[in-house]
Each structure stands twice: as structure tokens, then as C-alpha cells.
Amino acid sequence: MTDAAAVIQQARTRHRLLLTEVEAKTLLSAHGIPVTPARLAHTQEEAVALAQAIGFPVVLKICSPDIVHKSDVGGVRVGLTSAAAVSQAFAEIMDAVRRARPTATIDGISVQPVAQPGIEVIIGVTSDPHFGATVMFGLGGVLVEVLHDVTFRLVPLSPRDARTMIRDIRGFPLLTGFRGQPAVDLAALEHLLLQISAIAEAHAEIKELDLNPVFASSHGCVAADARIVLYADGEQRPAPRPLSAATRATLDRAFNARAVAVVGDKKAMNYMWLRSQSTFQGKVYSVQIDERELPGIAALGVPNYRSLAEIPEDIDYVMTAVPRQVAPRIIADCAAKRVAGVMLFTSGFSEIGDEEGKQLEHTLAEIARAAGLALIGPNCMGLYYPRRGLRNYPELPAGEAGTVGFIGQSGTHTITFSLAAPQHGLKISKAISFGNAAVLDASDYLDYLAADDETRIIGMYLEGVREGRRFFSLLRQVTPQKPVVIWKGGHNEAGQRAISSHTGSLAVPAAIWHAMVRQAGAIAAENFDELLDVIKLLHFAKPTTGTRVGLIAMTGGPSVVITDAFERAGLQVPLLSESSYQELSSFFTVIGGSFRNPLDSGHTIGMGHSTPNLERLLAILDRDPHIDAIVMDTGAGLVAGQWQAQPHTLATLITTLSGFASRSHKPFLVILQPFAREAALLQVREQFHQQQIATFATHDRAARALRLATDYWRFHAENSNQQIASATKNP
């Protein structure tokens, strides 16, 4: 057994979950972590002898498995410079602690050297009930306590994670030599984070680990205090369950159904489910026993049966809208008929929180699992596969194959995205609304779309995932091949965390979620617009890893604020190259315009209608080595009237821009800001999208989408040479 394992073993036999500073430092030292070594004294004499051996000045601290915060109980004395001071401090600490905590077990008092001075930082490990071990980093003192200026990454950390998590805190400049202080040895700090991640990976028994403080200086870093909390018996880190190939095959059969059945559709719902199948390329059946509903179903031309069993054909996919009490019987019927997938529109299960609902959902799940049935939902809208005409809402388009997949925990968001996407030039490959996820969860659907050849980009709306580790490892595998954009709603409060540590209390789930999305190389969208915008950009625009934009505006005011928007999004608006300016000076009309960057070019390019000059301008930006992406605000608020009056001017503009977009080497974005002409611009927008040009409604939306997409392209460009560490382990 290693020294480290022995420390844990010893704590276990003593039924201790909190390792003292002395024990924790022994474990950390065994792993090569620099600490101020703490040695235990039981008497004043022992303390003095240890201090003399170490050399003055020294630090004395209470050592007790029952005391989490030593200084709170008067248990820490620093900078003791003589034997007499040590002896006195020993007595005072004992006194103070016995008064503050009369029942605490006291191992003794530790004696340790004073750490080399430096900036105090905090490094911690906490365990999320869904995502497992995470490493936290922050600056000590008020920055953590007041500003919560901390970053998280899931274990295992890559060198890139260690690098970025240090640089992501707002207080980072304090580490790089602030006000004449020497800069901290950042390489040593990164190394320490990686070591801590490795310890968390090596010891699955560790629930929390705190190094607070670590003194970081130009000479390296050293942990002056350490604390480790073990999992109680029976508790453990979440382990990823492997995805099942059978689930993929079953979902595939449901999507590619030859025959479907709708159970329990009715007039009160305006036969929504049956009407949705009017475009379905296979056979549609209805199951309904209520006589009053039969004429309505017959009028739709759909054959009706009294049960699934009576349908004289194999059924691949079932949509049901029956009352919740009836649902278990229908699921059992589906199992008996060997249906591949069944979706439950029916709600009133675990989401409403009553006992009966939870019990019913549990029953549904058991029947489905036993039968290998892909149960989608309950409380959802199920599958949408336009190519096969399989719809989950009557107004959705059908017939065309698309490239954008969508997975939504909300029916409304899934349908809304499916309706909105075509208005932005995007076509859906497959969409899934999955609601309560009684059996299949986000990971299963992500796995399915990851392997789906038609799907090139995946959008998601999630409220939480049940198996965070599984989701994370899958996401990491998918994102290098297909961008995944995730819009997360609400906060994941399932599984109340019982974290006693100071750093643990900062581990808000949102921070871990964001760390997870980022580490997996996925894209986090903050709202519906962002989700749609970034997917549109990824779909239409060429990739770049650069963050410098060349901006074209028609007039002065927009030239000013467009720059603000792109800089706000963290992108740069640099000067162009000298040769670009030389070329521009030969034809650019500077009166009423400026040609630095942004190019205030309305005069020069006739508000977009002087084609030769527009083409020259675009070509210059495409060639300019200082520019990575090109954005043009068309001044739509001013020219939309002209476009309406003389449609050929718009057609010429779109042809010019679309030619450029396909020729250019850089992403090209167009802004069609509606201002007062919203209705007129809807049509215009569609024309742009038909010609493969990505348009955005505002400067900020364009800027934000470009930033998110650029982060994605950069992440994967940097990672492409680096084998992605397997996340299937259980760190």
C-alpha cells in the first residue's frame, strides 16, 4: 500500500471522514505536492523540540478531526520566533480550543515552518452528484469570499484546462506582477492543479480536498493548509453507465418507421397527432375506444382500431396522448406488439411531484426497460423527422432532409426551434422532444444524433442531465466531429449537495455546468436567439480561429456602435494592413466616411448598390492579413424602402454578397437590423439565407454568435493534434 493509501485506510479504520491537516499533508507529500510539513507535538516540550529542529520562526496549529476551521477556534499561531513563544502559544491554543470545543478530540498541536511569502490562492476538489470530481481555483481572501472569483474544471484536467482556469479568474492580473510585485510562477501553479486532479483521479474515496491557502510566488507554490473529506460508506462518485448499441438501433427503427400508430387522439386536441402524420411516408393507424371520437378520426381517413394488438401489421412508433392512469397499459401493449419506440405526450408524472405521478412513471419505465422499448418522455412531443414526414406538430415542414439536429427537454422549445430554423435557412435533420426522460435521457439522444449521418450540427435545450459523467464523456467525443450548442434552462438542484467545505459551498451547479460544457468543447448558448444564431453561423460561415474582425457599415453612427458590440463580445477590431489602406485610398470616398476599421463606406459603395466598389472593398478585407472575419451592416433600416421599391437593387446586392461569401476565405456575416421595417425585412432575410448568407438581426447578436463559433473553432483546432484523454474512467 502506498503512503497515501495508508493514510486513507487509517482514517477509515478510525471511522473518520475528515483527515486532519497532518494526515492530509502526508497524503499530499506522498504525491509530490509541496506543503509546509506539519509534525505533531503532544506536549509543550515536544513542540519546542520540534520547533528547534525545524528552525525559527514556526507556526503552531491545533490538530483535530472535529475542527474544520482552526483559526475560528483560536487554533493557529504564526511567526513564533523563540522557544518561550512556542511554549506559550502551545498552552494558549489548548486553552482556547478546549473552551471553544470542549468535546473535540485533539490529536495534538502541529509545528511547521513558515511558508515562503507569496500570494494566497485556493485550490480545491469538490464532488458534484452528477458530474463527479471537479477542481476549483481562486485567489484567497475577499476575492473568493465576496466576489466568488473562482473557476472549475472537471477531473481529469488537461494541461489546457489548468492553463485556462488560472487565466479565467478576474483577479488573474494579481498573479502576473501587480504594482511591482514579482510575478507568480504560473507553470508551477498549473503543475500543481494537474497534480491535484491526478490525486482526485487516483483516490475515488476523496469527496473534497482543500488547499487553503497555497502561497504562490516567483519561486513556486507551497500549500500551508490542507484538508481532505472522504466519502461516507455507501456514498460514491457517480460512475458513467455505458451507452447501449441496442438503444441506438431501436431509436433508428422508430425514426425510420414504416408504420406508426396514434393512441388516444381526440377532437378536444383538434386531432393534433393524427393531423401531424398527414405527411408521413408510411402507414398511419389510430387506436381509440371512445365511440364519440370515431367519426372525427374516420373523417381524417385514418383506420382506427380498438387496441394496438388488433392492428394487422407491425408498428414501429407509437404516439400516445392517453390519460396518465391508462399509460402503463398502453406501454405494456407496445411492449407486447414489439414496437420500437413510444412517446408519451401524456403529462402528470414525476414533473408534478405527486406520489401517484412518480409511481406511474416508475411503472412505465420498468415495463419499457424490460421490453427494450425506447420510451420517449413522458410529458413530451417525441420525434420529428422531416425527411420521412414524421412530425410532432401539424405546422412543421416535411419532405426535405436537413443537417441540424435538435434535442429538447421542452416540447415548446423543440417545436419552436423546428419552426424557426427554416425561416433562417436551416433545415432540421431530426428533432427529439424528450420531456421527463423516464428511460432515455439526453445522453441517449446525443449518442443517436452523433452517429446520424444526416446530422452535422446539434442544438440542445436542457434543464439538467441525470448522468452527468456519461453526458460529459459523450459530449467530448462528439464535439470534434459535430458542433453541439447547448442552451441550459434553470438550475440543476437534483441531489442536494452536502458539502461542508468552504470551497464546496462555492461550487454552484451553474459554474460546474459551464465548466463541463467548455471542457467538452461544446458551445453554451444563453438563450433561444443565441442558440439559433450560432447554429446559423456554423452552418453558413467558413471557420476561422482568429478573433480579428473587419467591419463594414454604411454610415457614421452604426460604424461607432458596431465596434462596441464586437469588442464587447471579446473580439478585436484592428487597423487594416498598410497595403489595404493604400488600395482603399485609390477609390474610397472619405467625405462623410472613414476607412480605418470599421469602414464607414455608404458613400463609396452607394449604400451597397455600387457593385464594383463593394466587390473591391470585400476583396481587400478578404486579403488583409490583419483580419480573420468580415461583417457587413447593410444599413437595412435606411435602404429597405429602396429594396421594396426597386427589388432588382436587392437582388444585385444579394448576388454580389453571395458570390463573395462562397469565394472568401473568411467567415462572412451580414447584419439586417430591422429598426422600423421589421415586416419588410422578413422577406429580405429569407432571400439572403436562400443564397447561403448568414444574417443577424443586431450587431450584438452577430458579435456574440461569431465569438461563440470562434471559440469552438479555436478549441478544436488546438486540440486536434492532442489525443483527447478518455473520459470514460471514473475519476
238-249 per-residue burial string, b: 16 or more CB within 10 A, e: under 16 = bebeebeeebbe
Residue 597 within binding range of Mg ion, rule CB under 5 A: no
Residue 126 has φ and ψ, to the nearest 5°, of -130, 165
**Residue 492 and residue 508: Cα distance in Å, rounded?**
9
SS3 of residue 315 by DSSP:
coil
- Cα dihedral 723, 724, 730, 731 sign: positive
Residue nearest to Mg ion (CB): 225
Nearer to Mg ion, 196 or 262 (CB): 196
- Residue 71 partner contact from ligand ADP, Mg ion, none using kind-dependent CB cut-offs of 5 to 8 Å: ligand ADP
- Residue 78 partner contact from Mg ion, ligand ADP, none using kind-dependent CB cut-offs of 5 to 8 Å: ligand ADP
Cell of 249: 438501433
Of 128, 149, 185, 225, the residue at the interface with ligand ADP (CB under 6 A) is: 225
Q: How far is the CB of 124 from ligand ADP (least distance, A)?
A: 12
SS3 of residue 686 by DSSP:
helix
SS3 of residue 214 by DSSP:
strand
CA distances from 576 to 548, 549, 581, 583, 595 (A): 10, 10, 7, 11, 9
- Residue 59 partner contact from ligand ADP, Mg ion, none using kind-dependent CB cut-offs of 5 to 8 Å: ligand ADP
Stretch that binds Mg ion, among 205-213, 390-398, 529-537, 589-597 (CB under 5 A): 205-213
Provide the mask over 23-52, with x wherever binding to ligand ADP is found by CB under 6 A and - wherever it is not: -------------x----------------
Cell of 569: 463580445
Of 7, 8, 59, 404, the residue at the interface with ligand ADP (CB under 6 A) is: 59
Closest by Cα among 632, 611, 461 to 531: 461
Q: How far is the CB of 478 from Mg ion (least distance, A)?
A: 40
Q: Count the residues in the chain.
A: 731
The count of chain residues that interact with ligand ADP, using the rule CB under 6 A, is 15
SS3 of residue 340 by DSSP:
coil
Stretch that binds ligand ADP, among 109-117, 232-240, 541-549, 706-714 (CB under 6 A): 109-117
Of 69, 306, 542, 665, the residue at the interface with ligand ADP (CB under 6 A) is: 69
| SS3 labels along 349-375 | CHHHCCHHHHHHHHHHHHHHHHHCCEE
Burial grade of 354 (CB within 10 A; 0-12, 13-18, 19 or more): exposed
Q: Which residues contact 359 (CB under 8 A, 6 or more apart)?
A: none
Q: Find where cell 405527411 sits.
A: 279
**Residue 574 and residue 475: Cα distance in Å, rounded?**
35
Restricted to residues 690-729, the positions that interact with Mg ion (CB under 5 A) are none
Nearer to ligand ADP, 97 or 360 (CB): 97
Nearer to ligand ADP, 59 or 562 (CB): 59
Stretch that binds ligand ADP, among 71-79, 357-365, 634-642, 700-708 (CB under 6 A): 71-79
Of 21, 225, 452, 628, the residue at the interface with Mg ion (CB under 5 A) is: 225
- Residue 112 partner contact from ligand ADP, Mg ion, none using kind-dependent CB cut-offs of 5 to 8 Å: ligand ADP
Residue 76 within binding range of ligand ADP, rule CB under 6 A: yes
Question: HSE of 245 in the Cβ direction (CA atoms, 13 Å)?
Answer: 0
Nearer to ligand ADP, 59 or 200 (CB): 59
Stretch that binds Mg ion, among 31-39, 209-217, 244-252, 606-614 (CB under 5 A): 209-217
Nearer to Mg ion, 69 or 542 (CB): 69
Stretch that binds Mg ion, among 40-48, 140-148, 219-227, 307-315 (CB under 5 A): 219-227
Restricted to residues 17-46, the positions that interact with Mg ion (CB under 5 A) are none
Nearer to ligand ADP, 212 or 277 (CB): 212
Residue 212 within binding range of Mg ion, rule CB under 5 A: yes
Query: What is the helix (H) or strand (E) element at residue 80, kind and residue range?
Result: strand 76-80
The alpha helices in 600-698, defined as continuous H runs, are 611-623, 636-645, 647-663, 678-690
Residue 112 within binding range of ligand ADP, rule CB under 6 A: yes
**Residue 260 and residue 284: Cα distance in Å, rounded?**
5
Stretch that binds Mg ion, among 146-154, 217-225, 256-264, 680-688 (CB under 5 A): 217-225
Of 224, 516, 534, 653, the residue at the interface with ligand ADP (CB under 6 A) is: 224
SS3 of residue 309 by DSSP:
helix
- Residue 537 partner contact from Mg ion, ligand ADP, none using kind-dependent CB cut-offs of 5 to 8 Å: none
Of 213, 264, 405, 598, the residue at the interface with ligand ADP (CB under 6 A) is: 213
Q: Which residues contact 308 (CB under 8 A, 6 or more apart)?
A: 261, 263, 287, 315, 318, 330, 333, 334, 336, 337, 339
Residue 544 within binding range of Mg ion, rule CB under 5 A: no
Report which residue type is found at 539: H
* DSSP secondary structure code for residue 506 in this structure: G
Restricted to residues 113-132, the positions that interact with ligand ADP (CB under 6 A) are 114-115
Q: How far is the CB of 405 from Mg ion (least distance, A)?
A: 48
Q: How far is the CB of 51 from ligand ADP (least distance, A)?
A: 12
Peptide bond into 612 cis (omega under 30): no
Residue 153 within binding range of ligand ADP, rule CB under 6 A: no
Nearer to Mg ion, 140 or 397 (CB): 140
Q: Find where cell 470534434 sits.
A: 480
Judged by the rule CB under 5 A, the positions of this chain that interact with Mg ion are 212, 225
Judged by the rule CB under 6 A, the positions of this chain that interact with ligand ADP are 36, 59, 61, 69-71, 76, 78, 112, 114-115, 212-213, 224-225
